[in-house]
Structure 1
Amino acid sequence: MDNTGDKRRRVLLISFPSQGHINPSLQFAKRLTRHHVHVTFVTSLSVYRRMPQIPTLPHVSFASYSDGYDDGFKPGDDDPNRSHSEMERLGSEAVKDMITTNAEEGQPFTCVVYSILFPWVAVVARSLHLPSILLWIEPATVFTLYYHYFNGYKDTITQSILDNPSRTIQLPGLPLLTGHDVPSFLLPSNVYGFGFSVFRRLFELLAQQTNPKVLVNTFEALEQDVLRGMDKFHLVPIGPLVPSAFLDCEDPSDASFGGDMFPCSRKNDDYISWLNSNPKAAVVYVSFGSISRLSKEQKEEIASGLLSFGQPFLWVIREEDMGDDTLSCREELEAVGKIVPWCSQLEVLSSPATGCFVTHCGWNSTLESLVCGVPMVGFPQWADQGTNAKIIEDMTETGVRVEVGMDGMVKREEIKRCLEVVMGDSNKGEEIRKKALKWKELAKGAARDGGSSDANFKAFVDQVCS
């Protein structure tokens, strides 16, 4: 626990133990410290064990608890439903102890902030009469979709998907959607029961409050109609939650999230030096985030699509994703581009040489690409990523979405076609690149001093953290 003895207001920030939650949560913590707030950042012990180095941040204390999986959750071996149940049981006890101990030591928390998938945190906070607030790290569009599903539109959404996944679905305050745009936890084919149950419980708890505030990692210009169309909740856009050096430049030293659970590749010849040696907007960057695993067949299709397109590329394939699979054309690939097990994504996206991002459409990756003005080829896998691909292709028009074949595969020809659209000389490609630059400026404008997200963040600190 923290023993600094200063008079800063204190916030307990609790993050789900995965990279996609840690990054925006850490950035949120850094922003709080700029406003005379001390943050105790809490996640499971397994996260800290995976980090090559635990961050050292001014006015941020790091605390952990055992969730029963201290060596990390092992997909394929461990049961996700049991894992989540244990996380709640053990986490609830640990968080309760942290809150009561701090109060007994004369350093009480003024509020608790928690990320999605952790509705139990709100229950613990309420039992101790402490205010809590949800940090929604996905787009407001996804929040609204979940809300409507659990409040009168379940049958409409489900039946439409069962009848024809390509049929349009009209929901209040949202653009026209199809079954391909709906979060995977709400699909009839969903196999992760814990995800559905957690979101249902989260919205049940929120409904018990009167017009509760929800902090959203988005910005007003990006989802203005959606944000204003939700009258049951006060959705507060405070994003993009991206390091300052790439956004508002108020803190040039803030050049990374600081909580990588994967070591960056800096072996032999530096990939950043290689990247920057290429012509402007010539390189295709490919990454599917920290969780998704592609089949060997899908990786082969991507490899062939990249080779056929012919431009240099930087492709992230995590070590556990590669496994024992060896790409049949590895030598040909390495003659054209680079394959690394992990990288500093913001460094890559901010390089003038990066011309396109082939992305799984995780919301962090989507926002980072918008902030850096890089067009995208959306290749969604699960969770909120289908909705995010909709935002990329239709709402911001900063990219295109791959078409998936009847066998569930995205073929090499389709990958090449999408790259040609985004990086080629067609009118559509030029328009996509113009839109990418437009959204870059809008994202940065929201975060600058006096911008909409900056003003919302300051108001939150004044109203909730005091």
Structure 2
Amino acid sequence: MPETQKKHVAVLPFPFGTHAAPLLSIVRRLSSSSSAPAIFSFFCTPNTNASLFGSSLPLGDVTPYEVWDGVSPGYTFSGKHQEDIELFIQAAPYSFAEGMRAAEAKTGRKITCIISDAFLWFAADMARDLDVPWLAFWTAGPAALTAHLHTDLLREKLLGDRGVVGREDETLGFIPGMSKTSVRDLQEGVVFGNMESKFSKMLHEMGKALPRATAVFINCFEELDPIITADLKSKLKEYLNIGPINMMGTQVEATVPDKTGCLEWLDGQREASVVYVSFGTVMVPPAKELEELAGALEESGAPFIWSLKEKVWGSLPVGFLERTEGRGKVVGWAPQVGILRHPSVGAFVTHCGWNSVLESIVGGRAPMICRPFFGDQRLNARMMEVVWGMGAGMEGGVISKKRLLSCLGEIGLVSDGGGKGREMRDNLLSLRRRAQSSVSTDGTSSANFRSLLTLALS
């Protein structure tokens, strides 16, 4: 095949939070699965590229290119919430266009497809102008996606002179698959919060643009939420569940050494006895909640692993680390995928980010105790608790010692939960089996991945 005819896929990630890493994992798998010659150009900010690629430049057929983060030389941050994101969003259409032109010049190959984070709604126009497919990757769960696609309907139904004040507990039965979720579970910027921020407007534009995408793909499996899946398929040209990707051996974490010795420590614990605590890479609970959480762990008597940034350890109750030494293990980083698969783990205290939800399902062992903070986390927590039945939530949305001990009791780690813990684990195991089936050779996620590969390289 002549060089000019070989496929050249432009990959546009969102360089914040945990968005870029799963997209790179999927792109690497697309690259390794292709039987036809193809290159993938990965356009991202310098800091994020360095964290993803390290010294491996390029990585197989995936070559990183640096794009501007929107921060001008000498710029002084004001401390405004999401200021870095707003600067990036403002510059992104120009930055990505410049990057793609540079990659075309360097490789001698025209861009033949754009794969982007779904947040980057303007990729619809870029793909139209280039007359190439646009494949959008949604990094969160299906319930959060359907909320964004139904934003205008939600606003029409719910917003009044006082916004949604007084209607927070109303359920969303007018949206397929959302009858057990309520207004208060929605993401900020949909019907409450700052709906005029650049971030909220970006997500609103995204919801309107995604039906134009050649396909929207997601790290999920159809069998988790059949009703929402059917609704999304009716609203999008192609809606492709291609996960869980960490059942396909593509996650970077699987190759990271366990430098803190968590897995070896777990080998010495009883089955289903350990509480694992992690709130992801972004959020840390307020000081009062850290105190309540530490008090519950100490009083429970259960062994635990707590993944907590070292700079926060000083906020723990005086003497906590010493009093729980041996029974508890507080680390700055933990190999979460391996921990959630370990037979000694019996409960997972989490923020309910989408990656954590999937990793819990893939592990199939540890019911979740959720303290969501923002974005899709409240929806994930509600679905986890009342739809999928694989865990318990915090009353009032904050951690209290009393409630956390009660949750550990329900799950059966500190008392007999009266069968609730067994039911949660049965539900988790059932979901894990369905997920495993979906990624088998004849499974729905495997078939959807083959469709995605065809769309990207046809």
Instruction: Name 1:431's counterpart in structure 2.
Output: 423
Deviations 1:246-273 (A, max 9, x none): x24xx5xx5634799xxx8725xx2221
Secondary structure at the aligned position of 1:114 is classed as strand
Instruction: Name 1:416's counterpart in structure 2.
Output: 405
CA distance in 2, matches of 1:265, 1:296: 28
Which one of the candidate residues 227, 250, 256 is aligned to 2:252? 256
CA distance in 1, matches of 2:432, 2:406: 25
Deviates more, 1:358-367 or 1:304-313: 304-313
CA distance in 2, matches of 1:318, 1:158: 39
Matched, 1:203 2:207: yes
Secondary structure at the aligned position of 2:285 is classed as coil
Secondary structure at the aligned position of 2:150 is classed as helix
Deviates more, 1:6-15 or 1:371-380: 6-15
Deviations 1:427-459 (A, max 9, x none): 111111111111111111111212101101101
Which one of the candidate residues 272, 278, 282 is aligned to 1:287? 278
Secondary structure at the aligned position of 1:186 is classed as coil
Query: What are the residue-to-residue correspondences of 1:32-431 with 2, within 5 Å?
Result: 32-36=30-34, 37-50=38-51, 53-54=54-55, 57-69=59-71, 78-104=79-105, 105-150=107-152, 152-158=153-159, 161-176=164-179, 177-190=181-194, 193-207=197-211, 209=212, 212-230=214-232, 231-243=234-246, 247-248=247-248, 254=250, 256-257=252-253, 266=259, 270-319=261-310, 322=312, 325-328=315-318, 329-373=320-364, 374-404=366-396, 409-424=398-413, 425=416, 426-431=418-423
Distance 1:345 1:99, change over 3 A: same
CA distance in 2, matches of 1:146, 1:103: 34
2:272/2:344 contact within 8 Å kept: yes
TM (norm. structure 2) is: 0.87
CA distance in 1, matches of 2:388, 2:55: 36
Alpha-carbon shift at residue 54 of structure 1 (Å): 5.0
2:115/2:137 contact within 8 Å kept: yes
2:9/2:113 contact within 8 Å kept: yes
2:151/2:207 contact within 8 Å kept: no
Instruction: Name 2:457's counterpart in structure 1.
Output: 465
Distance 1:308 1:234, change over 3 A: farther
Deviates more, 1:439-448 or 1:51-60: 51-60
CA distance in 2, matches of 1:185, 1:275: 41
Alpha-carbon shift at residue 112 of structure 1 (Å): 0.9
Distance 1:453 1:156, change over 3 A: same
1:316/1:342 contact within 8 Å kept: yes
2:245 partner letter: V
CA distance in 2, matches of 1:319, 1:194: 33
Instruction: Name 1:16's counterpart in structure 2.
Output: 14
Alpha-carbon shift at residue 319 of structure 1 (Å): 3.6
1:55/1:259 contact within 8 Å kept: no
Alpha-carbon shift at residue 171 of structure 1 (Å): 2.3
Distance 1:306 1:326, change over 3 A: closer
Matched, 1:25 2:23: yes
Deviations 1:360-413 (A, max 9, x none): 010011011101103211211110001101221122211111112xxx632111
1:256 partner letter: V
Instruction: In structure 2, list runs of 5 or more residues that go unmatched.
Output: none
CA distance in 2, matches of 1:296, 1:55: 39
Deviates more, 1:226-235 or 1:213-222: 226-235
CA distance in 1, matches of 2:113, 2:298: 52
1:91 partner letter: A
2:133 partner letter: P
1:180 partner letter: R
2:98 partner letter: D
1:131 partner letter: P
Number of matched residues?
Answer: 441
TM (norm. structure 1) is: 0.86
2:297 partner letter: L
CA distance in 2, matches of 1:235, 1:167: 31
Distance 1:363 1:70, change over 3 A: farther
CA distance in 2, matches of 1:52, 1:35: 20
